[in-house]
Amino acid sequence: MVNTPQEQKRKAALAALEVIESGMKLGLGTGSTAAFMVRGLGQLYREHKLNDLICVPTSVATRNLAQEQGLPLTTINDVDRLDLTIDGTDEFDPQLNLIKGGGGALLREKIVASLSDRFVIIADASKEVDQLGRFPLPVEVVPFAWKTVARHIENSGIQALLRASMNPGDPYKTDQGNYILDLQTGGMPDLPKMKWMLEGLPGVVEHGLFLDMADEVFLGKEDRVERITKTN
C-alpha cells in the first residue's frame, strides 16, 4: 500500500497521543492532521483509556469535531495554563520554527500554544523544510485596513494576496471576522526581521510565524513516525 501524505498525517497524529496523560488540560489544534488527533483522542476518552481531560479547541471547526467526539471542552478564558497542545503545521525548519495558518486559525492557535507548557507538532513528511517560506505566510489583518497593510508589505518587495473564500468574490474570514493576507516570500533567511516588520504594522492582528515555540515534532514518513525534539 502506498503511504500517502494523508496516511503519514494519520500515523503522526495517532503516535502523538502517547504523550497525553489523564488529568491533562489540552489545546486541540486545527487542520486535517489535527483532526486525526482529535478523533483518536475521542476514541481513547470514550474507551476510558484517558480520563479527566479538559480541552481547549483552537477553532470553531475543531470545537465542533471535539463535541462530536464527546470530549469535555472549555475556553481559554477559563484556564490559566495548559499542560499540552498538539497541532499541525504548514512548514517547520531544523530549529522547529513554524509557519502556521493555512487553515485560518493562526490567532487562536498562537494564543493557545503560548499558554501551553508543551507544544507538540504533528506533520507529514512534506512539511519538513530547510528554510521557511515555500508555503505562503498567513497574516491576519483587520478588514478596515487590509489594503493599507498589503501596500506596506508589497513596498518591501513581498507579494501579499488576499485569501478568497469558497464564495466567488468574497474574502475568507477567520473565526474572529478578520481577513488573511498570504505572503509569497519565496524564503525567509531572516525570520526575526520578518517577525519584527509584521508586528510593527498597524492593522496586523497576528502572523503565522511561530518562532521558538514548538518543543517536538511527530513526523510521519513512509516507513515510520520520527520524533524530532528541539535542541537548545
| Catalytic residue set | 109
200 assigned binding-site residue: no
Residue type (1 letter), 139: V
100 assigned binding-site residue: yes
Half-sphere exposure of 228 (CA within 13 A, CB side): 21
As a whole number of Å, the end-to-end CA separation of the chain is: 38
Residue 29 CA from chain centroid, whole number: 6
102 assigned binding-site residue: yes
89 assigned binding-site residue: yes
229 assigned binding-site residue: no
33 assigned binding-site residue: yes
**Residue 118, Cβ density class (10 Å: 0-12 exposed, 13-18 middle, ≥19 buried):** middle
87 assigned binding-site residue: yes
88 assigned binding-site residue: yes
220 assigned binding-site residue: no
The DSSP result for 126-184, as a single string, is: GGB-SSTTSS-EEEEE-GGGHHHHHHHHHHTT-EEEEPB-SSTTPBP--TTS-EEEEEE
Binding residues for substrate: 30-33, 87-90, 100-103, 127
Binding residues: 30-33, 87-90, 100-103, 127
